[in-house]
Structure 1
Amino acid sequence: MKKNILYIAMACLALGFTACSDDPNDAVTKHVYGPNEAPYLRTDASATISNSVEFKIGHLAAQTINLKDYAEQIQTKLKMTVDDVFAGLETGDIVFYNINPSRGAWDKTAPTKGTTGWYYNSAGGVTTETNAQVAVELDKANKQIVVSVPETVEDGMNGTVNVGFAVDNKKDYDMYVRFSISYKVSDPSSNIVTINVPNTDYTPYVVDLNAYEDNIKDAFGMTVKEFCNAIQSTDGDMVLYMLDKDGNWITDQAYTASGMGYWCDADGNIMKWADKPNYFVESHGDEGAVYIGAYPGQEAGTEFRVRFVYTLKSDNSKFIQFVFKAVLID
């Protein structure tokens, strides 16, 4: 008798586990996040946009990421245009927050830089301006993400920060686009190339631009041939600037040598030929080269730093910098 009762109880228990309900409210539902909770980050590799920016000591201009360049991916993931995204930020239908990859969650920390940005430490965590190594801010007017570093930044600093746009459906942030931004700081002057410049009758040392093919492509997205064409004229978008002894670009001086070129003193200050400078830098794109030559009459063995940069008048964030230690030889 006891055995039969045991069998009946087990059967009832089994029926209880296998019984199903047609009511969808009885099904397991996803957690709905409140205003003070950090939503989890739904895994979606195709929603991640990776960017890399580089800052160079002596010219730490902010770098920008133009969201219009990613309009197709934004349309696919958020089902709206870039303009719609920014309109949604104003209405609250779209949010712009940090993402914490290690926790797999969104970080809703209030902005620490202005009203649309944050300062970050070396680990990518949100911090104050005092402890910041990098900062990211949303420029709503130009529809860009702006990445900047402080003037006190040091050579070799690098890291990654993650921010994203998401549709706020009051339950989760499953429709999103994530920007994973890697940055690094380098010092071109730490890798100085020594060149021997003839000390006779303006004979130049010839810098072969073909040797900088990868640098040119990374800086401008140009081939060497396209770059050489660009530096043949002073009327185009390409421009040449010298650097002073502190590494600052000299942007307010007219060319004083042939074509796109300058005469300079030993500290890089721009001079005229008649004032007896130390050296000249001239662009010779027709030969795929840059000339570095000396003003005659100097002693053999004289050394000076030659620093110059090619950049775009329309976008100073794109540039290639050259640093040489010139030694005059007979």
Structure 2
Amino acid sequence: MKKNILYIAMACIALGFTACSDDPEDAVSKHVYGPDESPYLRADADATISLNAEFRKGHVTPKTVYLKDYAEQIQTKMKMTVDDMLAGIESGKVAFHSINTARGIWDMSAMTKGDGWWYNNNGAVVSNDGVASIELDKAAKALVLNVPEGSAAGLSMAANVGFAVVNGKDYDQYVRFTVNFSITDPGTIIQDITIPAGDYASYEFDLTSIENAINACFGMTSADFIATIANTENDIAMYLADDNGNWDTTSGYTAGGIGLWVDVDHKVCNWSGNGYAAGNFYYIETHADDKTVGIGRAPGVPSGTKAKVHFVYASKSDATRFIEFVLNATFE
């Protein structure tokens, strides 16, 4: 009896060995994702490109990120050029999707803003009324980053998109863009001022007193800023702003140097020669030698008159670099 049991055990062991396969896929097969599933996001720090998209409250302009600037990383991770990658989207060889980092998956949601998506404060795709957006501009070979006009300062969130090789199994061969969105308001100077009595008398705003704001907005010291606004040919210009924060970038200077005469309708005007009676109200004038910007009165402005003097100094080459003045003026 014992001999029979031994034979049976040996036979079972032999059958067990013959059932084994040398193919590792027979042991543990990786899940193959179907067209209606969201592939998991394989962690790969080297495939992740981090971008900072800082917008200024009150003057939002889209930011363009050119993919050619990351061509080497795309070539390394996806084994293709930027042109090949974009062509692959059209042929179906490359996928372009949002990424849900909270769940660690590729988000297969349909596009909700052009060739891209709106995102909420948590970085999740929403159908509309998002706080930020990422779109693919195939013609420009770029990602376009934006936030809605009128967005309040304080936004801080991240959204993710990626390009992945479609191999029928997973999205493990990819590049990912993590965009850190923020809206800041470092350079709005709001202050009450009093303009002294007397024809052409002015209040002189000390530009050295806003050193931190100048540095935050322009990346320069107040001394460098003042030296730049001393010459109308340099990169920083003065623009009058209306109540909605829109800049008048078309009017030329009508006061001394970088300066403007403003009429009773708060529009840029020329000096009439007859002061307030002819519509002239006040002037804004850069006084670089004194390190100030002066706000002065036209002859004839009645005592006690009030005005909101609203203007900016802004870079001509990069409109996101500016400092805004909202000065509530009382004329003595």
Q: TM-score, normalised by structure 2?
A: 0.78
Which residue of structure 2 lines up, in the alignment, with residue 325 of structure 1?
327
1:42 aligns with 2:42: yes
SS in 1 for 2:77: helix
Partner secondary structure for residue 59 of structure 2? coil
1:132 equivalent to 2:130? Answer yes
How far did residue 210 of structure 1 move?
7.0
Residue matched to 1:148: 146
Q: Which residue of the other structure, out of 280, 284, 299, is the alignment partner of 2:283?
A: 280
Structure 1 residues 85, 262: CA separation in 2 closer, same or farther (over 3 Å shift)? Answer: farther
Unaligned runs of at least 5 residues, structure 1: none
SS in 1 for 2:237: strand
Following the alignment from structure 1 to structure 2, what is the Cα–Cα distance between the partners of residues 96 and 299?
64
Q: 1:137 to 1:326 in 2, by over 3 A?
A: same
Cα distance between partner residues in 2 of 1:313 and 1:190 = 18
Counterpart for residue 106 of structure 1: 106
Code of the residue aligned with 1:172 in structure 2: it is D
Q: 2:52 and 2:317 mapped to 1: Cα distance?
A: 20
> CA–CA distance in 2 between the matches of 1:248 and 1:303?
21
Q: Are 1:244 and 1:267, in contact at CA under 8 Å, matched by a contact in 2?
A: no
Structure 2 residue aligned with 1:26 = 26
Deviation at 1:85, TM superposition (A): 3.1
SS of 2:98 mapped into structure 1: strand
Deviation at 1:218? Answer: 4.8
Tell me whether 163-172 or 65-74 shows the greater mean CA deviation: 65-74
- Is the alpha carbon distance of 1:258 and 1:117 closer, same or farther for their aligned partners in structure 2, counting shifts above 3 Å? same
What's 2:205 paired with? 206
Q: Residue 163 of structure 1 contacts residue 179 of structure 1 at CA under 8 Å; is this kept in 2? A: yes
The answer to whether 1:78 aligns with 2:81 is: no
| Aligned CA distance change for structure 1 residues 305 and 104 (closer, same or farther; 3 Å) | same
Letter in 1 for 2:63: Q
CA shift, 1:217, in A, is 5.0
Q: Structure 1 length as normaliser, TM-score? A: 0.78
Shift of 1:132: 3.0
Q: Is the 2:57–2:150 contact (alpha carbons within 8 Å) kept by the matching residues of 1? A: no
Separation (CA, whole Å) in 1 of partners of 2:220 and 2:15: 71
Give the equivalent residue in structure 2 for 1:92: 92
The residue type equivalent to 1:311 in the other structure is A
Deviation at 1:100, TM superposition (A): 0.3
Indicate the SS of the match to 1:273.
Answer: coil
Mark the structure with the bigger radius of gyration: 2
Quote the Cα distance in structure 1 between the aligned partners of 2:69 and 2:102: 28
Assess, with a 3 A threshold, how the Cα gap between structure 1 residues 22 and 63 changes in structure 2: closer, same or farther: same
RMSD: 3.9
Shift in Å at residue 105 of structure 1? 0.6
SS at 1:85 equivalent = helix
Which segments of 5 or more consecutive residues in structure 2 lack a partner in the other structure? none
1-structure distance, mates of 2:89, 2:328: 54
1:146-225 matches, within 5 Å, as 146-151=144-149, 153-154=151-152, 156-185=154-183, 192-200=190-198, 201-209=200-208, 211-213=210-212, 215-216=213-214, 218-220=216-218
1:187–1:23: structure 2 CA closer, same or farther, 3 Å change rule? Answer: closer
Equivalent residue of 2:206, what SS?
strand
Q: 1:298 to 1:25 in 2, by over 3 A?
A: same
CA distance in 1, matches of 2:106, 2:155: 25
1:254 to 231, 252, 255: 252
**How far apart are the structure 2 equivalents of 1:225 and 1:30?**
63
Counterpart CA distance in 2 for 1:310 and 1:90 is 45
- Label 1:41 to 1:253 Cα distance change in 2 as closer, same or farther (>3 A): same
Q: Deviations over 1:220-277 (max 9, x none)?
A: 5556555445434333444322111222111221111222221224664212233543
Q: Is the 8 A contact 1:267 1:305 kept in 2?
A: no
- The separation in 2 between residues aligned to 1:139 and 1:253, in whole angstroms, is 33
**Identical-residue share of aligned pairs (%):** 48
